[in-house]
Copies of this chain bind each other. A is one copy, B any other.
């Protein structure tokens, strides 16, 4: 009787919690318990509910919004969008959202593939959103005709023509990125990747295959060593996490069921940079390298892979220039992201052919392209440089047309400047300046603060180095989710903000007045790097670095709380529990 009783009680409790979502969610409680307090995080799933206020008035003809993609950016946009205001269509070949940060866990069965996905239609249904979804792939964006060309991912229609056209008033491009092999020969044919759920499932089967293959009779020791050599190309967070997962799978599960061949297993990470995890704090990189050394995971830094054949990986030392080839059984390529063909084609159309991703302005609208927005990995924001607008800014600030700015005049426009050009604040912070006056002072010398006036040249000089602090946002899930959330917010208040603009003063071009919205600003909430053996490293806001077992528990808490639905949250947590009790499954399915 035990389990059924226990399960049904749990079920009742979950249902209650789903029906009455409290302000303080269980996920937040969980976090407090696990992290020992001190670090604040939030549960993503409660956000959308708060934001979607009922629309006051329904317009006679709703504007058509077409969203391409159901990844982090697209889903975040849709979750936050007030779908009653628009006629929303979503087009994606994947009818689910995947919680991609857990993909490395799927490769070794720590978490099941199905636990990290949530059907898009279910999301809409639960939020009572009237959204049309097409399981299809957009293969051409036609910005002049305001339409996208799509092809069904599930076969053609009866008339043999699977293509169809969807027109839009606003287009949200959230197509994500693809793998980038940097044209290295053999990579496409012989390497595994880690971008999609299917990739992780393939890797899982392949790892078990290697062990089964090495267990067959008539296999020499040399062959076993080759078959059980797992190579990860790219020492970023994904590659490192996969290496750590694989090592855990090996020492916690596989040694028990393949005892005869455990001595032949080797894991190697090939990294072209000086260190693995080089986007993290130096301390984290060192911690990871030391741990991997202790675990027997080889880290080859300063090597670039130049060729992959069916049984050899050839790499070139960046310092010595010499080439070496190593035999391998399985290789995973996680060395960078590239542009999808449909994005490339669109970039050609709008004169962005030379770029690596769609260029948007600070409001996420694609440059030189009306009504098209781009968010997530397929886009990058080009921050306007303050020096390009310095004359206009000076003119606007100089209200009395005196040809000079007083400190008061500068203070009057300072907030608008800081919102429009975030690099100003970043620069002041990097120079440990507390006030704009200090910045001006440093340029014009030791004048008295009270009577300080600057002319245009002095103003230019003061702000001359500010643009060096323009930073591009990384291509992470966190950025994509924030962009989606921000853009939906803009869409929700589009009508209101036309009359009540919220943004900073327009300092570019000829138009006067305020921008409708504040520009998008990325807020870095920290980043994790799980390192295996129940240890993780984390970079937290405010230059905090945390490493070790407690960080792994923090990781568990944050990742549980960040799940997109209660269903996936329960599944992921029960997967972790199952793994603790029963270990990982090694069936080849």
Interface residues of A (CB under 8 A from B): 1-8, 10-11, 13-15, 26, 29-30, 32-34, 94-96, 112-114, 117-119, 121-122, 124-125, 133-136, 152-155, 157-158, 164, 166, 197-198, 201, 208-209, 212-213, 215-220, 222-223, 226, 256-258, 311, 560, 566-567, 570-571, 573-574, 577-578, 580-582, 585-589
Contacts and interface: CB of A to CB of B under 8 A. Distances in A.
A345 to B, nearest CB: 22
Nearest to A121: B257
B94 A14 contact: no
B26 A2 contact: yes
Q: Is the interface of A mostly helix, strand, loop or mixed?
A: helix
A122 B2 CA distance: 25
How many copies of this kind of chain does the complex include?
Answer: 2
B95 A586 contact: yes
A30 B2 contact: yes
Contacts of A566: 582
Name, among A136, A152, A587, the residue most crowded by chain B CB atoms within 10 Å (CB to CB). Answer: A587
A588 B7 CA distance: 28
Given A257-B119, A589-B198, A223 B125 contact: no
A216 B94 CA distance: 14
Contacts of A586: 95, 119, 121-122
A464 B256 CA distance: 59
B198 A136 contact: no
Given A135-B588, A578-B570, A4 B117 contact: no
A251 to B, nearest CB: 15
Given A96-B587, A257-B119, A152 B216 contact: yes
A589 B226 contact: no
A305 to B, nearest CB: 22
B257 A157 contact: no
A96 B588 contact: yes
A138 to B, nearest CB: 13
Nearest to A2: B26
A587 B571 CA distance: 15
A1 B33 contact: yes
Given A26-B2, A578-B570, A585 B119 contact: yes
Contacts of A6: 10
A257 B117 CA distance: 16
A311 B311 CA distance: 44
B118 A587 contact: yes
A571 B578 contact: yes
A218 B567 CA distance: 33
Contacts of A118: 587
A20 B10 CA distance: 25
Given A7-B577, A213-B155, A588 B94 contact: yes
Contact of A1 (B1, B13, B32, B197): B32
A15 to B, nearest CB: 6
A215 B11 contact: no
A26 B11 contact: no
Given A7-B573, A11-B577, A573-B3, A113 B589 contact: yes
A4 B573 contact: yes
Contacts of A573: 3-4, 7
Nearest to A15: B581
Contact of A587 (B29, B95, B589): B95
Given A117-B585, A587-B95, A29 B1 contact: yes
- Closest A-B pairs by Cβ, 3 of them: A96-B587, A135-B212, A121-B257
A34 B4 contact: yes
A164 B218 contact: yes
Name, among A154, A157, A585, the residue most crowded by chain B CB atoms within 10 Å (CB to CB). Answer: A154
A589 B1 contact: no
Name, among A112, A220, A589, the residue most crowded by chain B CB atoms within 10 Å (CB to CB). Answer: A589
Given A3-B30, A112-B112, A164-B217, A223 B158 contact: yes
Contacts of A122: 256-257, 586
A265 to B, nearest CB: 16
Nearest to A124: B257
Name, among A6, A197, A226, A560, the residue most crowded by chain B CB atoms within 10 Å (CB to CB). Answer: A6
A152 B154 CA distance: 33
Given A30-B1, A154-B209, A567-B582, A164 B7 contact: no
A587 B113 CA distance: 10
